[in-house]
Amino acid sequence: MSDTISGRLVELLRPEVLAAFDRTFFEREGYWVWEGILTDAGRAQWKKSLQKIQAMNDAVVTGTDWSSIDYKSRGIAEPDPGKISAEFLQSCCGGSEQMAFQPQGFRDYMYQQGLFDSALAPDGFTWQGMMPEYFPLAYDDFILDIATAHPQMMQVISKLLGKRFLIDHVLTLNRTPGSRGRRWHAHPYRNKGQREIEDPIGSGQSLTTEFFPHQCVRTLCYPEGMGAADGGGELSVMPGAHLYRIPYLWDGARTEYSEQIQAGWMADKIHAFTDEPLQIKHLSLPPGSMVSFVHHMPHHVGHRAPDAPTRWGLLMAYRTPDPDEQPTRWNEGAPAHWVERRVESGQLTANMRRVFAGDTPL
């Protein structure tokens, strides 16, 4: 199969913004802002694809008879009957991270096994075994290209992680009016957290100036910008905190606002390069911007105003391969059932397959 993608938007990113990346700053502070990096055409297509995915996801949420699925045979808990009523399901639409009707184990099953059931037969597109919000690249060719093969986007990720990187996850993060955002938290490298300190608070003894080679980096793209001026819900990070390698509240409830994390986790912690106390940085980005930050750095998304418009966003997370992992065909960030179907039908190019490959490929 040719690696030339039909219909690709070649001029997606502004080359001068791509070239301005400062590796030293990124390793020292743990984040980098790609300010206004999308071209006008890139902004338009990115927003269009995010709106398309949201419409698909909403159609599945409201168009599925969730009570008719055989959850027991799949080892999934039964859904709360009150949360699969038509009225409740409607409240789960319009934005990301709202599907509160899903029972425990449901999302993992879709990702690992694929949920193929006669109740899931949306009109207008082919069901891929997962909710579109959780794996949008399975439902949109533009997102598939930018997440796996587009030369400019692959340059972005290689600047952050080096020549070889693997997909960790790709999600939509569309924030609705009145969205409560996400309180302070962080994430480990891989789901097992085997590269991080387990102590949830940690101490100065865990501080280092070394940019640890096992990294996962999150890149968020906002085609229409992000910040307090556009209705709130801005992203906040903590420069230098990644040098502690202690993912904050990664394995429990995310309960704390800035006051709590400042009084607890941040207390007495300093920036390894400046010796200054850690500070919270609230980001505000113009339209067509992206921001990349280290996965295990604490971060926070504020509340969005009730009268604010929906803010469109896509999260793309990639990581370095783990040399200690056993050989596998596909890595854990790839829904193997979907990748296998795409490979068998000749729908994934060699470049696309690289980001799905195992840490130690077979």
Q: Show the domains of the chain with their CATH numbers.
A: 15-53+135-323 (2.60.120.620), 57-112 (no CATH)
Q: Measured between alpha carbons, how far is 274 from 276 in angstroms, rounded to an integer?
A: 5
Who has greater pLDDT, 108 or 197?
Answer: 108
Q: Which two tokens stand for residue 91?
A: 């409240």
Q: 117-134 pLDDT, tens per residue?
A: 989 989 899 999 999 999
Q: Residue 110: its pLDDT value, please?
A: 96
Structure confidence at residue 1 as a pLDDT band (50, 70, 90): very low
Q: If DSSP states are collapsed to H, E and C, what string results for 115-142?
A: CCCCCCCCCCCCCCCCCCCCCHHHCCHH
- Displacement of CA 195 from its chain's centroid (Å): 20
Position 107 pLDDT exceeds 70:
yes
Among the listed residues 7, 42, 87, 76, the one whose alpha carbon sits nearest the alpha carbon of residue 287 = 42
Mean pLDDT value across residues 288-311 = 95
3-state helix, strand, coil in the chain (%, to 5): 30, 15, 55
Which of 244-253, 307-316, 349-358 has the least mean pLDDT? 244-253
Q: Residue 4: its pLDDT value, please?
A: 61
- Displacement of CA 122 from its chain's centroid (Å): 25
- Residue 328 · residue 139 · CB < 8 Å: no
Which of the given ranges, 13-22, 196-205, 240-249, 251-260, has the highest pLDDT on average?
13-22
Mean pLDDT value across residues 223-248 = 92
C-alpha pair distances (Å), 336 with each of 41, 109, 118, 169, 356? 32, 12, 21, 13, 9
Mean pLDDT value across residues 202-231 = 90
Q: Residue 181: its pLDDT value, please?
A: 85
Which of 29-33, 67-71, 249-253 has the least mean pLDDT? 249-253
Structure confidence at residue 249 as a pLDDT band (50, 70, 90): confident
Mean pLDDT value across residues 30-57 = 98
Q: Residue 167: its pLDDT value, please?
A: 97
Q: 306-343 pLDDT, tens per residue?
A: 999 999 999 999 999 998 899 999 999 989 999 999 99
Q: Measured between alpha carbons, how far is 66 from 92 in angstroms, rounded to an integer?
A: 13
pLDDT, mean over the chain: 93
Q: Residue 2: its pLDDT value, please?
A: 47
Structure confidence at residue 3 as a pLDDT band (50, 70, 90): low
Proportion of the chain above pLDDT 70, given as a percent:
98
pTM of the model as a whole: 0.95
